[in-house]
Amino acid sequence: MKQKKKRGSLLRGFMRFVCTVLGIILALMIAVTVYFQSLLGQINYIDPEDVTLLSQEEVDALDAADTIAVNPDAPTEAVEFEDHDTTIGGKRSGIINILLIGQDRRPGEARARSDSMILCSFNKNTKTLTLTSFLRDLYVQIPGYQDNRINSAYAAGGMTLLNDTLETNFGIQVDGNVEVDFSQFAQIVDLMGGVTIELRQDEADLINKDVGGSLTAGSCLLNGEQALTYARIRKLDADGDFSRTSRQRKVIDAMIGAYKDSSLTTLLKLLDQVLPMVTTDIKNTRLVAYALELFPMLSDITIVSQRIPADGTYSGQTIRGMSVLVADMEANREILSDTILGTSE
């Protein structure tokens, strides 16, 4: 009888211990969930289904401001886009495609053309991050609209239409978008303690002139305004926007490099300050899933940088008074497939 009571007492004690441990675990899970919900709740969320589309006439009005005088008797160029079966990304592909959109709104504008578009493609199979800039003057098909420069897609239909445009022309399946305007970008760089960039002397001189400082050629720690000025430089190089987008990718590369070996605690502290400046169409549950998938990759990830159109795959043309880049779409789709999917030798 005493043995039964003893066994019963031990069993009750063990059950109390188990319940206590489960209670602590449950409390921790609730606390972590509440923390992450609070953290992610700071992001400005855009419902991709709730987008106001511009009419073709409104898009034409935007284009009119950037057209150049052309000979009315000059022949109209015709660009033919061929069908393709390229697919880059999507479920069970091992690829996560996040599009970074740089905005440069003027006062009173709700949505302007996208000034910069950088596709961040995480290949979980090869542990590679490919940064691909799409030049804003690239001439493409825009679903539901007349063919135009790619940056018009965002003005006409926001993130959703820009994503549809990338899929129509390149077969890229975008998983989500992150948008930051340029003033916020400068603040984010300052919150990170600046960013280290290798400067040429003419780049250093221009930054000093525009926003102040005593920068010289070589490795320099740039503050937010200096980094923004560097990322927007176009006039120092004959290729203009080509070098500008290269500088943008260098800044992003440096920002990732500065934090890739940081602890989760450090990253969460930074995110608490940065997220209120970010606009996205990615839902919180999906953001958490991406974070869990990608955080283990950061410490040894390889970063690849490129732009579309690639060298030797395009020509400069004037169409409807617009200076545009007409690309060999098949060649550029092949380049994207090789670099992002990791099939190039």
Q: How many angstroms separate the CA atoms of 203 and 217, rounded?
A: 8
The pair of three-digit structure tokens given for residue 44, joined into one six-digit string: 């400005």
The structure tokens 């283990």 sit at 296
| Residue-wise pLDDT tens digits, 270-293 | 888 888 888 899 888 888 888 878
Helix axes 224-231, 241-259, angle to 10 degrees: 140
- Portion of the chain with pLDDT greater than 70, in percent: 81
| Residue-wise pLDDT tens digits, 197-228 | 999 999 999 999 999 889 999 999 999 999 99
Q: Phi, psi (5° rounding) for residue 304?
A: -115, 140
| Residue-wise pLDDT tens digits, 94-140 | 999 999 998 766 555 556 778 889 999 999 999 999 999 999 999 99
Phi-psi region of 218 (alpha: psi -120 to 50; beta: other; left: phi over 0): left
The pair of three-digit structure tokens given for residue 165, joined into one six-digit string: 């445009």
Q: Look at residue 314 and give its three-state secondary structure.
A: strand
Most confident of 14-28, 39-53, 112-126: 112-126
Q: What pLDDT band is residue 334 in, cutting at 50, 70 and 90?
A: very high
- Portion of the chain with pLDDT greater than 90, in percent: 39
| Residue-wise pLDDT tens digits, 163-181 | 999 999 999 999 999 988 7
**Average pLDDT value over all residues in the chain:** 83
At CA 87, angle to CA 156 and CA 127, rounded to 5?
105
Q: Look at residue 145 and give its three-state secondary structure.
A: coil
Report, as an integer, the average pLDDT of 172-200: 90
Which pLDDT score is estimated for 257?
84
- Please indicate whether residue 57 or residue 260 has the higher confidence score (pLDDT): 57
- 10 Å CB burial of residue 4 (0-12, 13-18, 19+) is exposed
Which pLDDT score is estimated for 73?
46
- Please indicate whether residue 108 or residue 42 has the higher confidence score (pLDDT): 42
- Please give the radius of gyration of the chain, using alpha carbons only, rounded to the nearest integer: 25
Q: Phi, psi (5° rounding) for residue 26?
A: -60, -45
Is pLDDT at 3 greater than 60 in this prediction?
no
Q: Phi, psi (5° rounding) for residue 21?
A: -60, -45
Which pLDDT score is estimated for 65?
67
Most confident of 7-11, 72-76, 119-123: 119-123
Cβ atoms within 10 Å, residue 86: 16
- Please indicate whether residue 273 or residue 66 has the higher confidence score (pLDDT): 273
Buried b (16+ CB within 10 A) or exposed e, 6-30: eeeeeeeeeeeeeeeeeeeeeeeee
Strands 116-123 and 128-134: antiparallel
Identity at 274, one-letter amino acid code:
V
- 10 Å CB burial of residue 301 (0-12, 13-18, 19+) is middle
The pair of three-digit structure tokens given for residue 303, joined into one six-digit string: 């970063």
Which pLDDT score is estimated for 285?
82
Is pLDDT at 76 greater than 70 in this prediction?
no
Which pLDDT score is estimated for 344?
56
Helix (H) or strand (E) holding 122: strand 116-123
